[in-house]
Amino acid sequence: MSAVIIDRRRNVRHKSAVNQQRFLRRYRALVREAVARSIAERKIAEADRDASISIPSRGLHEPVFSHGSGGKRELVLPGNKEYVAGDELQRPSGGGGQGQGGRGSPDGEGEDTFHFHLSREEFLDFFFEDMALPNLTKTQLTAIPQSKRVTGGFRTDGSPSNMSVVRTLRGALARRLALSGSSRARLREIDEELEKIDAEDPPDEERRAELLAERAAVQAAIARVPYVDSFDLRYRNRITQPREIAQAVMFCVMDVSGSMDEQRKDLAKRFFILLHLFLQRHYERIEIVFIRHHTSAQVVDEEQFFHSTESGGTVVSTALELTVAEIDAHFPLDQWNVYVAQASDGDNWGDDSPRCRELLETQLLPRVQYFAYVEVNDGQTQNLWDQYEEASAAHANMALGQVRERSDIFPVLRELFAKKAD
């Protein structure tokens, strides 16, 4: 019996991609919620990873008519050890006769949650969606950074547009010299001998004719050496080079006083993530420093940064002072690009705000590439805002914005994105 064996591995993969898109579209709201939950659990630097997502499976089952529990039913089971006919046994808790039917259900039904995997692109897409990012920016952030292509050496094959004329002709010249060298030496000998013959009296006509014939042959041989041969061709080689090594440090400054609740922190976190994603596009290495403050500021790790609440008042200038101190201590400006992102609900001790502005203008802004401030607050702007606004008007590398919901975050950074989008 003959069989046809076909290699289908090169065929189109991911045939069901469109079905997956349909699934995600159908349960868009649930998936978005799950992505939001996942963001809350992630570290800022890990925001753009693929993810395992779980959504409640209640809403996505495919109902059919089937038997419910109740009534009388029989069940045949294997592996009897001790029972004889007529034995009575207690119903297992959770309803009898449920052992049947759960067999290897590959669609994960029967559990309370449906787990599945989102690729990095899908995940970011959901993340960006409710932040109302412009499409161009989405593409910029989603695309994996390319390494750049530079010329490096020469090669013997390539496209005509990359041909190096100088190299090619230099090679051709060398080859011509090498290939015709012996012939031209012989030509010189012949010419000398002919001169001698011409000087003799009487000239040796027979020898002369012989030499002239040879001279023509040698000249023909020299002419036969091609001017440019195919193996003279040289092309500029282009190699991929990793992006320039550049490093940046990002300071996340956040007010953790009692008035910053979970929801506000979540908004702040998204703000930090977005800035981090942006930096990732432009710098090879990024350090993140977390500075939290209430009446005093301290450097903490990410866990403490987002998940501990302090009570009491707020003195913002302490955080700015600490940031300046940290920069000076650990991040020399000739080696580091400094970015500062500050999130606060705008509450500040009244006398402190002018001091903040002064610190900002004299100390911080000269040191940093960019300073972005968000006021996570749905009411009136506070006194800190007014001071910052004035500073912002005078300095190009500073942006600020009030954030009430997720879609307000991007406009704060819009200018930064526009400037750096190359």
Partner 1 sequence: MNEPPAPPTVRPARSGREPGAGERRGNMSMPPVSPRHLAWPLPGGSEWSFEQIERYHSEIARVAERYGLDTFPNQIEIISAEQMMDAYASNGLPVGYTHWSFGKRFLATEQHYRRGQMGLAYEIVINSNPCIAYLMEENTLAMQALVIAHACYGHNSFFKGNYLFRTWTQPDAIIDYLVFARRYVAECEQRYGAVEVEQTLDACHALSNLGVDRYKRPQKRSLAKEQALQREREELMQLQVNDLWRTLPLKKHADLPAGERAFPSEPQENLLYFIEKNAPMLKPWQREIVRIVRKMSQYFYPQRQTQVMNEGWATFWHYTILQTMYDDGLLADNVMMEILHSHTNAITQPGFDSPAYSGINPYALGFAMYRDIRRICESPTPEDKRWFPDVAGSNWTETLQFAMRNFKDESFIAQFLSPKLMREFRLFCIVDDDHAGALRVDAIHDDAGYRAVRDALSRQYALSEREPNLQITSVDISGDRSLTLRHFRHNRQPLAGTYKEVMNYLATLWGFTVRLESVNDDGSIESTHECRVEKRAGQRGDAIAWTLPEAFRQHD
Q: Is 21 in the site for partner 1 (CB under 8 A)?
A: yes
Q: Is 85 in the site for partner 1 (CB under 8 A)?
A: yes
Residues 99-128 close enough to bind partner 1 by CB under 8 A? 99-104, 106-108, 114-117
Among residues 43, 45, 84, 338, the one that binds partner 1 under rule CB under 8 A: 84
Amino acid at residue number 380: Q
Write b or e for each residue in 298-330: b if 16 or more Cβ atoms lie within 10 A of its Cβ, otherwise e: ebbebeebbeeeeeeebbbbbbbbbbbebbeee
Identify which of residues 101 and 145 has a Cβ nearer to partner 1 in the complex. 101
Among residues 33, 41, 56, 70, the one that binds partner 1 under rule CB under 8 A: 70
Q: Is 165 in the site for partner 1 (CB under 8 A)?
A: no
Q: Is 335 in the site for partner 1 (CB under 8 A)?
A: no
Phi and psi of 293, rounded to 5°? -150, 150
Among residues 48, 56, 76, 377, the one that binds partner 1 under rule CB under 8 A: 76
Identify which of residues 31 and 398 has a Cβ nearer to partner 1 in the complex. 31
Identify which of residues 111 and 191 has a Cβ nearer to partner 1 in the complex. 111
What is the smallest separation between the CB atom of 287 and partner 1, expressed in angstroms?
A: 32
Q: Is 182 in the site for partner 1 (CB under 8 A)?
A: no
Q: Is 19 in the site for partner 1 (CB under 8 A)?
A: yes
The DSSP code sequence of 318-384 is HHHHHHHHHHHHH--TTT-EEEEEEEE-S---TTHHHHHHHHIIIIIHHH-SEEEEEEE-SS---HH
Identify which of residues 11 and 380 has a Cβ nearer to partner 1 in the complex. 11
Give the up-direction half-sphere exposure of residue 119: CA atoms within 13 A in the CB hemisphere.
Answer: 8
Amino acid at residue number 51: A
What gap in Å lies between CA 161 and CA 201, rounded to an integer?
61
Return the range that interacts with partner 1 (CB under 8 A); candidates 2-10, 133-141, 171-179, 261-269. 2-10
129 and 32 in contact (C-beta within 8 Å)?
yes
CB atoms within 10 A of CB 272: 27
Identify which of residues 64 and 329 has a Cβ nearer to partner 1 in the complex. 64
What is the smallest separation between the CB atom of 124 and partner 1, expressed in angstroms?
A: 18
What gap in Å lies between CA 257 and CA 389, rounded to an integer?
22
Show the site string, 45-64: x = touches partner 1 by CB under 8 A, - = not.
-------x------xxxxxx
Residues 209-228 close enough to bind partner 1 by CB under 8 A? none
Calculate Rg over the CA atoms of the chain: 39
Q: Counting every residue, how long is the chain? A: 422
